[in-house]
A = this chain, B = another copy of it.
Amino acid sequence: MDMATDLQDFLIRLDRDIRARGDWGEVADYIPELARIAPGQFGIAVVTADGALATAGDATKGFSIQSISKVFTLACVLGRIGEQIWTRVGREPSGLRFDSIQLLETEDGRPRNPFINAGALVVTDELLTGRGPQDALAEILGFIRTAAGDDDIHIDRAVAQSEAGTGHRNIALAHYLKSCGNLRNAPELVLGTYFHQCAIEMSCVQLAMAGRAIAGLPDAPPVLSRARARRLNALMMLCGHYDGSGDFAFRVGLPGKSGVGGGILLIAPGRASIGIWSPGLNVFGNSHMGTHAAEALARATGWSVFG
């Protein structure tokens, strides 16, 4: 399946199959604004190395990217301070839930990786060095817009507010990090920035476009070096789906990053950048039908990096 028409046909069939199944998973209920989203939705967008775009379903509908933002903030921080960030956060899978706190206690406040919440808070804290939340968020948004080649990407402030009011687990993580000396800024500042970066709204098409540089596609905007893109992919493969990362690698075989809003940024290095969305989640907190779609796409295209 190499030609654009084949891919487009496949996506349309996939969308139809998924809607026929009606097995959508459960929408995240801990962020009130997200709990309102209807589960029965699905969208997918694939940008291939030749620049072609194939889509199906709700591919242009905006959703909250949530933890997918962790990839972009990490890219910004790597651009600023390079590999120094690894003194503050590790690169190993945690084997625990996205919002787990226990390893901070047994591992001296150094989060296992930048894609669990604790690690992402440290990355955001780093991005706040020497400036305020507005500037940090402007950098993140600027990075994403440039990467996607699309200025119409915004923060949904209602979602940010919603999480700020109920995100007790994240508040606990930030204060715990602060007590360990691994947060430079006030926890409130870091949390405010973090809740806003998570509340960035994008569509599958925008997400797929923004991932072109990570996929190393020829016509991607030059926001990332190839070496850095390669490493982001390694991190996404090992840690992108929390304690379901092994399962995702086993089934899909592609680097990806999920968000609790139901989005998945999926990368086929050198081949394609993919945005997927379906708001119902599986037991690991990753999009249920999104994971299914990623698996079906990888099987149909033979894009798995594992042969």
* A positions within 8 Å CB-CB of B: 90-95, 100-102, 104-106, 112-113, 168-169, 171-176, 178-179, 187, 215-216, 226, 229-231, 233-235, 237-239, 243-247, 249-250, 253, 255, 267, 269-270, 304-307
Contacts and interface: CB of A to CB of B under 8 A. Distances in A.
Contact of A173 (B91, B94, B172, B233): B172
Contact of A253 (B102, B169, B234): B234
Copies in the complex: 4
A92 B245 CA distance: 7
Nearest to A173: B172
Query: Which of A95, A104, A173 neighbours the largest number of chain B CB atoms within 10 Å of its CB?
Result: A95
Contacts of A239: 246
Query: Shortest 9 CB-CB distances between A and B: which pairs?
Result: A269-B307, A233-B306, A305-B305, A92-B246, A168-B179, A172-B175, A93-B93, A172-B176, A102-B102
A92 B95 contact: yes
Contact of A95 (B95, B172, B230): B95
B100 A105 contact: yes
B249 A238 contact: yes
Contacts of A113: 246
B246 A90 contact: yes
Contacts of A169: 175-176, 179
Given A95-B95, A235-B250, A243-B92, A229 B176 contact: no
A221 to B, nearest CB: 16
A234 B245 CA distance: 10
Contact of A172 (B106, B172, B250): B172
